Amino acid sequence: MPLPVPVPVLPEGIDPAWLPPEAFRPLGARRTRIRGSGPLVETVHGEVSDACRRFGGEVVRDDDGTAAPYDLVLCRTDGPEDLGDEGFACERSAGTTTVTASGPRGLLYGLFHVVRLGEDAFRGERPREVHRPAVALRMLDHWDNVAVHPVMGQVERGYAGGSLFWRDGRARGEPERVRAYGRLLAACGINAVSVNNVNVHATEARLLTDRLGEVADLAAALRPYGVRTHLSVTFAAPVVLGGLATADPLDASVRAWWADAAARVYAAIPDFGGFVVKADSEGQPGPFAYGRSHADGADALAAALAPHGGTVHWRAFVYDHRQDWRDRTTDRARAAYDHFAPLDGEFADNAVLQVKHGPMDFQVREPVSPVLGAMPRTRLAVEVQATQEYTGQQRHVCWLGPMWSEALRFRPGGDAGGCVGEVARGGLVAVSNVGDDPFWTGHPLAQANLYTFGRLAWRPDDDPRRILDEWIGLTFLSAPERLITGLRAVLHGSWRTYEKYTAPLGVGFMVQPGHHYGPSVDGYEYSPWGTYHFADRDGVGVDRSAATGTGYAAQYGKPWAEVYESPGSCPDELLLFFHHVPYEHVLHSGKTVIQHIYDSHFEGVEETEEALRVWEGLADLVAPARHARVAERYAEQLRSAREWRDQVNSYFLRKSGVPDERGRTVY
């Protein structure tokens, strides 16, 4: 009989997040039988054994010859119905709770389901319920550098300390911590991780070849929790690593090089997931250099991975970052659609096109990318950003569940068609917000973003507030009602609060250039990055209509092309994304644009002040270290929110000359 996989021991001082040992008490105090075999069954065995050791229960494998009834049976078998690789069924009758799974991960996910249910898992009768993920690939992309980058540091856009995987040019060699990370991910349903930055610099490139062993070590640590490892690779690898004269994807020697590289990866990591590629984007090499399309590029790598069951995740984030700001006809928002929609149907079956949820770059408010409605013959994955590059950098509380849920529920083809959560057959991907911080995510409340992402990826139509309650229930075990109410109060509306005190009505990008924290209203206005608001004395916003603007609105199908085309039908929150309007333009809300800017900025700060008050009132209910960390970050959030308010309001007062009708102080 194989040995149970021991539960990872958290290094001293590391927060258990949503898996505090006490969460296992209901399970650990009981008698459990585990049936079936397979590597992840040994992980389940290890989990139950550990819980029993702590809480006094007992676990047996297969038939132990006793007639004693079991409280819990965890059974991996060929079930009566197809539960797939990852699904499980849970039921309770005659005093026994039974979890059945047919695939290896299903039993593990079923175990965590029992943990989430707590004592309820062992009460009364439960009819059979089947749980299956709606999306097969639920992935985190780490933008972690192996070597510290002179500008971006160890983790690009990382706000949670250093990397969990790498430090100063080499692997950290802390498999136990990586295993603990894999365990947290499995407990919220995430099954894939890419371990290095999509901007692949020279050191990182070598992970594909002579430093592959370091990736294999990470894969070994993540494997027991059903997390498959992926690697970001540079498109130029055949040149920079292989010494070839070209990386042309149609060149036979290049294809042979990739095939050989992939074979070596699979020899070292048999369950390797695949490659992630950022090509022809922000300076990364790509197929354009050879006059080839992105389908040509993706398919060359897909062909190399196909014999091994791997997938290439090809990012659609391709645009001109050397744009002339004087040229108002070029529109960065159009770029992904213009590059990729014509290629629909040309991508290999094992190529996934990974599309950011909005057309720009993870702003607090963007429309859903039109690419997601335009490529029915391509496997699409949706990419969101858990790391809060543009949403407060984990110094501000900004729970992104409602924003992601809105995007996933959006129906690109109107009511008749599927929603984004269904269109995303290739998976859901989040840029990770995790680092070597003892709370994992820098801001302790940002753990909620990671957890919510995993659970939404499992069921994109799930209610994010239900998920948040689940996170609260696990993280703050046995929380009294006052704590639950307080946590809901500070988290539920935090995305909208952040939106209120930052760039208004979907216009985006009023951030400090480079690091992207804090306000700089004109910071990107005269830059080459394609991120403008065009404010002048008469009005503000980008005309993206087909009639008079860049034509971006016409990239949508019906009904959205019409809805977005006119300021009269465009939703208020996206008005300045789609239209350049006078300051006195009246919104659907009945307010003018300028008054909306003033009001929302004052409200955003007031809401932050209120959230801080609520948090202060929870001091007696939250562990001191966690409470102090959040309180300290709230102080910075409030300072920053006031700065945003004052800069944005003053800017627009000076541009428009229209005073606040309520006479508040605008500088």
Instruction: Give the residues lining the site for ligand GCV (CB under 6 A).
Output: 143, 156-157, 198-199, 278, 317, 361, 389
Q: How far apart (Å, rounded) are the C-alpha atoms in residues 416 and 431?
A: 31
Catalytic option among 15, 204, 214, 389: 389
Between 280 and 389, CB nearer to ligand GCV: 389
CB of 208 to ligand GCV, least distance (A): 18
CB of 280 to ligand GCV, least distance (A): 11
- SS3 state at 447: helix
Q: Which residues pair with 306 in a beta bridge?
A: none
CA-based nearest residue to 225, from 144, 104, 79, 51: 104
Dihedral Cα 482, 483, 484, 485, nearest 10 deg: 50
On whether the CB atoms of residues 490 and 445 are closer than 8 A, the answer is yes
592's CB contacts (< 8 A; 6+ apart) are 583, 584, 585, 586, 658
Transcribe 102-131 into DSSP letters: SSHHHHHHHHHHHHHHGGGGGSS-EEEEEE
CB of 362 to ligand GCV, least distance (A): 7
CB of 407 to ligand GCV, least distance (A): 16
**Count of residues for the chain?**
667
CB of 141 to ligand GCV, least distance (A): 9
On whether the CB atoms of residues 380 and 372 are closer than 8 A, the answer is yes
Catalytic option among 119, 282, 324, 538: 282
Q: How far apart (Å, rounded) are the C-alpha atoms in residues 333 and 323?
A: 12
CB of 659 to ligand GCV, least distance (A): 36
Alpha helices in 384-425 (DSSP H): 401-409, 420-423
The token duo for 585 is 């333009």
Amino acid at the residue 462: D
Between 199 and 234, CB nearer to ligand GCV: 199
Transcribe 35-102 into DSSP letters: E--SHHHHHHHHHHHHHHHHHS-EEEES--S-----SEEEEES--SS--TTT-EEEEEETTEEEEEES
Long-range interactions of 477-485: CB distance < 8 A, separation 24+: 477/20, 477/22, 477/23, 479/621, 480/621, 482/618, 482/621, 483/618, 483/621, 483/622
- Is position 584 annotated as part of the catalytic site? no
Catalytic option among 361, 436, 565, 599: 361
Transcribe 221-275 into DSSP letters: HHGGGTPEEEEE--TTHHHHTT--S---TT-HHHHHHHHHHHHHHHHH-TT--EE
Q: How far apart (Å, rounded) are the C-alpha atoms in residues 74 and 91?
A: 11
Q: How far apart (Å, rounded) are the C-alpha atoms in residues 409 and 300?
A: 33
Q: How far apart (Å, rounded) are the C-alpha atoms in residues 359 and 369?
A: 5
H/E element holding 485?
Answer: helix 481-491
CB of 283 to ligand GCV, least distance (A): 10
The sign of the dihedral angle between the CA atoms of 432, 435, 437, 442 is: negative
Angle (nearest 5°) at CA 657 between 656 and 661: 100
Between 48 and 195, CB nearer to ligand GCV: 195
Between 157 and 294, CB nearer to ligand GCV: 157
Residue 20 burial (CB count, 10 A): 14
- Is position 214 annotated as part of the catalytic site? no
Between 83 and 429, CB nearer to ligand GCV: 429
- Is position 616 annotated as part of the catalytic site? no
- SS3 state at 394: coil
User: 186, exposed or middle or buried, with CB in 10 Å at 0-12, 13-18, 19+?
Assistant: buried
Between 156 and 599, CB nearer to ligand GCV: 156
Active site residues: 282, 361, 389
